[in-house]
Amino acid sequence: MIIDTHAHFDDKAFNEDRETLLAGLPEAGVELAVNIGANMSTSAATVALTEKYPHIYGAVGVHPSDTAELTDEKLQQLSAWCKKDKIIAVGEIGLDYYWDTPEREIQKKWFRAQLNLAFDENLPVVIHSRDAAADTMNILKEEARGDYRGIMHCFSYSPEIAAEVVKMGFYLGIGGVVTFANAKKLVEVVAQIPLERIVLETDCPYLAPVPYRGKRNSSLYLPLVVDKIAEIKGISKEEVERVTTANAREVYNI
Ligand code: NI
């Protein structure tokens, strides 16, 4: 059985068949999926999904590109959601200099605030960092309270940065991108980082693995990611499933 550590089943791409798809996950070998909030409204939708489906857990948080909406009051609302049983992480939070909006000072302010929310709530963090490696590392170092518990989602940086974040306590979220023809750097990262530090994720509906690249993604395609990791590391699919599932349970404490 596998665990999808990062999904967005609240997305409208699932409006037609969400019920059937989610109900069918355990039968397809996906024992749990963690739905990730990206703003206040998708965090509320995440809470609702966790209340409806026994095998859906959730993270609440505001993605860097949506941090312009954050206020102290909304941070209080996130904190209230964090106290719910099936809300098991704060995320996705971080910095995104690819879209580069809102201005960087706003992104940084709320990244720091949400990191501290996670510490205060004793929850792990799910980090989104794109084209912002240096500032992300600096903020993580400045805000650290001991080792981190969390996932660097959709990891896109160098093997050197991978080694550094793993040393800080993070797991790397590996998904469909690793199957892409141009994923040379990520393949190197997966080869280098111990399996004990890797978790599976989809980021669905985005980033479907080959041969479904460009189509709607879902947790049902995770076996293609398992196959690729097994191939890179020269180990069995069963070992990839067993270890990444144990890792997901460990980082999310479920
Ligand atoms: Ni995501």
The domains of the chain, with CATH numbers, are 2-252 (3.20.20.140)
**Predicted local distance difference test score (pLDDT) of residue 64:** 98
* Residue 250 CA, ligand 1 centroid: distance in Å: 20
**Predicted local distance difference test score (pLDDT) of residue 146:** 93
Which residues have C-beta under 5 Å from ligand 1, the single-atom ion?
A: 203
Per DSSP, the three-state class of 249 is: helix
- Among the listed residues 251, 250, 213, 209, the one whose alpha carbon sits nearest the alpha carbon of residue 231: 209
**Predicted local distance difference test score (pLDDT) of residue 1:** 95
Cα–Cα distance measured from residue 127 to residue 63, given in angstroms and rounded to the nearest whole number: 9
* Residue 160 CA, ligand 1 centroid: distance in Å: 23
14: tokens are 């699932």
Q: Residue ranges of the chain with pLDDT lower than 70?
A: none
* Residue 204 CA, ligand 1 centroid: distance in Å: 7
Residues contacting 81, CB < 8 A, separation 6+ = 43, 44, 47, 60, 87
Report pTM.
0.97
| DSSP H or E stretch at residue 52 | helix 40-52
* Amino acid letter, residue 138: N
**90 backbone dihedrals φ, ψ, rounded to 5°:** -105, 120
* Residue 7 CA, ligand 1 centroid: distance in Å: 6
Greatest distance between any 2 Cα atoms in the chain: 50
CA 93 to chain centre: 10
* Residue 193 CA, ligand 1 centroid: distance in Å: 22
* Residue 24 CA, ligand 1 centroid: distance in Å: 22
